[in-house]
């Protein structure tokens, strides 16, 4: 075995964490050995059914394998108002940085409207020189940009860390209100410039064309900086669940502000104090006061594999895989611990590592079969480090509900079963 591979198999932190190079460059040499053995095993005596005749014909729009049909969002909505609720992305079943469109998380307040794009218009008005309508044909002619960025509901991960006792559910059910896509659309600043914004304006109010006419105020600085009027998601037109035919996209800010089915933008001097931004997406502190306008999503990471429901079948070499993201910019570093936080090793970050995008991290781990606790912690380029659950609760209590980003600990028991623990 080459010296380099031996070196990669050296532990970098306690309880079997191996050098990150193992899964970057050494994987073919080390892991290939096992599969080579399989290839020379007993020859197939008969052809599998899918090789005995041609498969199904071509189609205009693809579908996934029926064997993957179990990979589903977990839906939660109130009885009687089943269009008001959320669906969580099954993070434990996915890899890489991009969320497939049909598995992107949802949060709707009054169902998913079926909008005829030929009848949809955007109105920009308020403190502008000219109130302007834009139809979808017109918007399609504006200069567009494409960015791979995450969107996260600010209520994400609440279930993972804030209930009094840990809820044991899948990684997706606990952290799946985050997804990452390539968004393509028109920078909002171009349209605001065309309308001519009054220098005294400080905010915009964005409103959707769903039955809730859901609306949020957005600081003008953000609207003029990197706000996008998105028309495409991962190359195809937005799905109705993601705001077809037009949504606001505010990189790094809490998802509720990225208004779907966008119909109206009013330029204002002050925030409109909508129901969503005052009574819902605000953070109640222990002393009874409430923080308003906590927009950026803080740095966070979670190990998606192994995670609850993905048991380790036997001791041996495994790949720890997870995702990290920050509303402040790029992920700078992710560290993994396999001994309950006593020691940490640096995980490999998969390229590309992009601004406000999900970054995939991986780490080799030799599990010795004993019970332990694994966890990850991320740091972003702004220098922020993902805090422990204890530190967050000490600072903000447990009543705030939104913007929880504590370190997630998974317990691996002696049988390889994984569960959510507070550690």
Partner 1 sequence: MSTRSLPALIAVVLAVGVLAQEGPELGIEATPEEVAEWDIGIEPDGEGLPPGSGTALEGEPVYTLYCFSCHGVEGEGLLNDVLVGGHGTLDGPAPRKTVGSFWPYATTVFDYIRRTMPYQEPQSLSDDQVYALTAYLLFLNGIIGKDEEMDAETLPEVRMPNRDNFILAWPPQDNE
Q: Give yes or no for residue 213 binding partner 1 (CB under 8 A).
A: yes
Task: Enumerate residues 23-62 that contact partner 1 by CB under 8 A.
Answer: none
Interface with partner 1 (CB under 8 A), residue total 62
Per-residue DSSP letter, 197: B
CA-CA distance, 376 to 344, in Å (whole number)?
9
Question: Footprint of partner 1 on residues 291-330 (CB under 8 A)?
Answer: 291-295
Do the Cβ atoms of 87 and 102 come closer than 8 Å?
no
> How many angstroms separate the CA atoms of 208 and 221, rounded?
21
Q: Which is nearer to partner 1, 63 or 279 (CB)?
A: 279
**CB-CB contact of 264 with 122 (8 Å):** yes
**Using the rule CB under 8 A, which residue among 27, 168, 282, 417 binds partner 1?**
282
Establish if 124 lies at the interface with partner 1 (CB under 8 A). yes
**Spatial separation of the C-alpha atoms in residues 41 and 57, rounded to whole Å:** 33
Cβ-based nearer residue to partner 1, 216 or 362: 216
Tell me if residue 121 falls in helix, strand or coil.
strand
Stated as kind and residue range, the H or E segment containing 77 is: strand 74-78
Place of tokens 């490999």: 348
Binding segment for partner 1 (CB under 8 A), chosen from 168-176, 212-220, 327-335, 412-420, is 212-220
Examine residue 288 and tell whether it contacts partner 1 (CB under 8 A): yes
Determine the interface stretch with partner 1 among 20-28, 35-43, 283-291, 300-308 (rule: CB under 8 A).
Answer: 283-291
- CB of 372 within 8 A of CB of 340? yes
Candidates 79, 116, 200, 313: give the one binding partner 1 (CB under 8 A). 79
Closer Cβ to partner 1, 72 or 398, answer by number? 398
- Does 394 sit near partner 1 (CB under 8 A)? no
Q: How far is CA 159 from CA 198, 201, 374, 386, 400, in A?
A: 43, 38, 19, 17, 12
Q: Which residues make up the interface to partner 1 (CB under 8 A)?
A: 78-81, 84, 109-110, 123-125, 130-135, 138, 141-143, 186-187, 189-191, 193-195, 205, 207, 211-215, 219, 221, 263-264, 266, 268, 270, 272-275, 278-279, 282-284, 286-295, 399
């Amino acid at each position: 075995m080459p010296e380099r591979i031996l070196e990669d198999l050296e532990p970098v932190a306690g309880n079997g964490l191996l050098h990150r190079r193992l899964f970057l460059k050494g994987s073919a040499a080390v892991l290939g050995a096992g599969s080579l053995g399989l290839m020379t095993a007993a020859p197939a005596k008969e052809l599998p059914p899918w090789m005995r005749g041609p498969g199904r014909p071509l189609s205009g729009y693809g579908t996934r394998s029926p064997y993957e049909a179990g990979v589903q969002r977990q839906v939660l909505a109130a009885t009687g108002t089943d269009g008001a609720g959320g669906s969580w992305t099954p993070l434990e079943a996915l890899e890489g940085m991009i969320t497939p469109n049909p598995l992107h998380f949802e949060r709707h307040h009054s169902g998913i409207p079926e909008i005829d794009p030929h009848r949809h218009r955007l109105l920009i008005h308020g403190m502008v020189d000219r109130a302007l309508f834009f139809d979808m044909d017109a918007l399609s002619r504006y200069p567009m940009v494409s960015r791979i960025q995450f969107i996260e509901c600010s209520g994400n991960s609440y279930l993972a860390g804030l209930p009094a006792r840990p809820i044991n559910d899948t990684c997706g059910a606990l952290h799946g209100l985050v997804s990452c896509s390539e968004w393509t659309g028109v920078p909002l600043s171009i349209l605001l410039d065309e309308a001519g914004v009054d220098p005294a304006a400080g905010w915009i109010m964005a409103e959707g064309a769903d039955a809730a006419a859901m609306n949020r105020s957005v600081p003008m600085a953000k609207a003029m900086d990197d706000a996008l009027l998105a028309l495409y998601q991962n190359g195809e037109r937005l799905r109705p669940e993601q705001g077809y035919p037009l949504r606001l996209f505010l990189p790094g800010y809490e998802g509720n502000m990225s208004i779907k089915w966008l119909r109206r933008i009013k330029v204002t001097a002050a925030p409109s104090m909508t129901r969503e931004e005052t009574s819902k997406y605000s953070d109640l502190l222990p002393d009874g006061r409430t923080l308003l306008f906590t927009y950026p999503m803080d740095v966070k990471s979670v190990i998606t594999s192994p995670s609850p429901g993905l048991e380790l079948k036997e001791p041996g070499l495994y790949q720890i895989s997870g995702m990290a993201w920050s509303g402040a910019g790029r992920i700078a570093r992710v560290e993994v611990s396999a001994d309950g936080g006593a020691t940490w090793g640096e995980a490999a970050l998969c390229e590309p590592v992009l601004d406000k995008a999900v970054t995939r991290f991986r780490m080799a781990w030799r599990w010795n079969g004993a019970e332990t606790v694994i966890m990850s912690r991320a740091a972003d380029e702004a220098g922020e480090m993902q805090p422990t659950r204890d530190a967050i609760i000490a600072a903000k209590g447990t009543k705030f509900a939104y913007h929880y980003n504590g370190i997630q600990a998974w317990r691996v028991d002696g049988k390889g079963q994984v569960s959510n623990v507070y550690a």
